[in-house]
A and B are shown apart, each in its own frame.
Chain A
Amino acid sequence: MHKLIVAAAAALTVLGGAASAQESIKIGYIDPLSGGGASVGEGGLKTFQYLADELNAKGGILGHKVEIVPLDNKTNPQESLVQAQKAVDAGVRYITQGNGSSVGAALEDFVTKNNSRNPGKEVLYFNYAAVDPSMTNEKCSYWHFRWDANSDIKMEALTNYMKGQPTIKKVYLINMDYSFGQSVRVAARKMLGEKRPDIQVVGDELHPMLKVTDFSPYIAKIKASGADTVVTGNWGQDFALLLKAAADAGLKVNWYTYYAGGAGGPTAIKQTGLENQVFQISEGVPNSGNKAAMDFEKDFRAKTGISVWYPRAVNEMRMFKAAAEKANSIDPVKVAAALEGMKFEVFDGGEGFIRKDDHQFFQPIYISSFGSLADKAKEPFDEENTGWGWHIVSKIDTEQTMLPTTCNMKRP
């Protein structure tokens, strides 16, 4: 028995030594893997695992393997902090998160504090989808990088498109009751008021986040308001169930959305029968016509069974590699310095860059509508086997997405 323990200890030492020689880069993926956000959280996890495999197949980053560490935060800020601390204690130096700006703000604060208290053990936060503008404005942090266009940028583009749609007369806003949903409603009211003062906002709803399982009372209210258009930042289950209830009630309106493409969304839209009446704003579209992106999409779908919801995650991981190679180091401090101001050819083509002032990534964004696909050769990708897919109706170039920032960046 005693000998066995000694042997085991020796073996562990040897293994430990071998591992540290080519230490892997652990990326803590802190997102919902249970509860109402799980459907999108699991999709995100598959995406990052696929991207890590892609990097590892080509030798990893500077010879280090990339490993994704899944951590379930139940879309809860407190739970996220526990998971983040757990990850950091286990040697994770990079965390990535996307679902929920409430969580995002907590993590941003966490890395800032952690890095000032533990010099030499800095942690970087790569944000792929938490889009509350405050995270790159008044609450900005040097240790946070955001690859998704923030909510105001998206609303700016969306309202620019809506401006040219004379059929829009009455708009209903419905959003999730937390920082992001509130920023959507405020931006929508302000920007619509400036660009189309004739549009009447007939409803402005906030509902509990990821807790509503039957949206029919809300749909009845939208119907009663006489709205012809709904603007919503809902995501995940809150989008899919909202549209499902709309389909059941036969609500016929135009939908301007941020995240219609996520899990369950396309199926619900098909059920409503609203062809080309649901619009989404995103930084990429499966049928973009970009050959490299479409080849990626094909392989990604074959391996994961879902569509590429997050072209921004592809940009994030590829830029991480590029930045580490530029810095010739996987040390977070050096990678952060290399990322600042970095230019990059984005997933769907065109140039994007990280603005040094606030660590927001700027890139071309697209407005697309959902409907049947006429030319299967040009547009091969449908969504969730509905036979319908996304068509680009408008492209916004990088320069036109740049909104000013109030960030007063504190550099180490």
Chain B
Amino acid sequence: MAELIVISTLNGVLYGMLLFLLSSGLTVIFSMMGVLNFAHASFYMLGAFFGYQLTRWIGFWPALVLAPLLVGAVGMAVERYGLRNTHKHGHVAELLLTFGLAFAIEEIVSMIWGKSPVDYRVPAVLDFPAFTVFSTNYPAYKIFMLVVSVVIFIALLVTLKRTRVGLIVQAALTHPSMVGHLGHNVGRVFMLVFGVGSALAGLAGVIAGPSLVTQSDMAAFLGPILFVVIVFGGLGSLPGAFIASLLIGLIQTFAVALNGSLASVFGPLDPSLGASPLTDIWNVTIAQIAPILPYLLLVLVLIFRPMGLLGTRES
């Protein structure tokens, strides 16, 4: 049991940190620009595919740096030439733009790299068991993923809390028009934030690609979970996104490990009742409903605390 707890905690934290890499950008972009970027998970996918392609050409380590930069550049271009132009038509137009973009990116990716998974492998230097807990190996690559996400988290925190850039970004989060009045180029701040947000998503893609599966529907898998994370954490709140990411990572991992069902708590139903939808509900285990738990959480949060865990604004 102790073994299961240790391994599940590690896996849960790792998944949570990956979610955070993605949701941090998304939540900052939302609170700044008021746009829920539907294409955010697509940047994650682009990161994975760029990472794969660059790894084949120039190796994994250069790809680890270059691929996120490329994705960031794509993100900035989207902001500069797409969102900024649609901004004057209101939020709905912007929302629709990112929505369409998500589909366009998915189609383009499957046109270039095909629809089946690409062979994106863990680099040979990291392909060994890092340590063994109770006879279970833990792969070094996962530790590497964890380290990268923690480093990025700290860097992000320091930038936001301790630098002038961070100050402007934070100000723009809550009072965008005031920041503009003070003479800052809010447009450029938006573009940079969008670029950095996309680059973070790209980085998550590069490091997650070899461990999870790199294929053209990976964005569609992750996209909905991201929205859960930022709504749960509170729109625009970075600490909220951090806590929500870890919580959802842990909940999903531990739910898989649990076998409990109504039947195991209250005893099996009388067999004379026969098979009915009720018996299905009675016997379904927590492990089986693990994938829907985050969405259930989303609904509950929206009902009981619409601003999310650490959110401050109602909108």
Could you tell me which A residues sit within 8 Å of B by CB distance? 33-36, 38-39, 42, 72, 177, 203, 205-208, 211, 213-214, 216-218, 220-221, 223-224, 237, 241, 248-251
Contacts and interface: CB of A to CB of B under 8 A. Distances in A.
A251 B138 CA distance: 11
Interface stretch (B7-15, B97-105, B154-162, B304-312): B7-15
Interface in B100-117: 110, 115-117
Contacts of B213: 213, 237, 241
Contacts of A250: 129, 132, 135-137
B176 interface: no
A252 to B, nearest CB: 9
A213 B221 CA distance: 10
Contacts of A249: 7, 136-139
B288 A38 contact: no
A223 B132 contact: no
Interface string B181-208: 0000000000000000000000000000
B163 interface: no
Contact of A214 (B7, B15, B110, B291): B15
Nearest to B291: A208
Given A36-B215, A38-B215, A203-B259, 17 more contacts: A33-B115, A34-B116, A34-B217, A35-B215, A42-B116, A72-B115, A213-B212, A213-B218, A213-B221, A217-B11, A217-B253, A220-B4, A220-B7, A220-B257, A221-B4, A237-B213, A249-B137
A43 B289 CA distance: 32
Contacts of B117: 38-39, 237
Contacts of A72: 115
B7 A216 contact: yes
A35 B217 contact: yes
Contacts of B8: 217, 220
B296 interface: no
A220 B137 contact: no
B287 A224 contact: no
Nearest to A34: B115
Contact of B136 (A33, A34, A220, A241): A220
Contacts of A218: 256
Contact of B257 (A177, A211, A221): A221
A177 B292 CA distance: 14
Interface of B: 1, 3-4, 7-8, 11, 15, 110, 115-117, 129, 132, 135-139, 142, 211-213, 215-218, 221, 253, 256-257, 259, 287-288, 291
A214 B212 contact: yes
A203 B129 CA distance: 26
A213 B252 CA distance: 13
Contacts of B115: 33-35, 38, 72
A224 B1 contact: yes
A218 B216 CA distance: 24
Q: Which A-B residue pairs are the 10 nearest by beta carbons?
A: A34-B115, A250-B137, A38-B116, A224-B4, A213-B212, A220-B7, A217-B256, A248-B139, A213-B213, A217-B253
A211 B291 contact: yes
A250 B7 CA distance: 13
A72 B215 CA distance: 16
A400 B221 CA distance: 44
B42 to A, nearest CB: 16
Contacts of A42: 116
B3 A220 contact: yes
Contacts of B257: 217, 220-221, 224
Contacts of B116: 34, 38-39, 42
A155 B186 CA distance: 66
Contacts of B1: 224
A38 B215 CA distance: 10
Contacts of B288: 177, 206-207
A187 B103 CA distance: 42
B8 to A, nearest CB: 6
Contacts of B287: 205-207, 221
Contacts of B110: 34
A36 B7 CA distance: 26
A248 B137 contact: yes
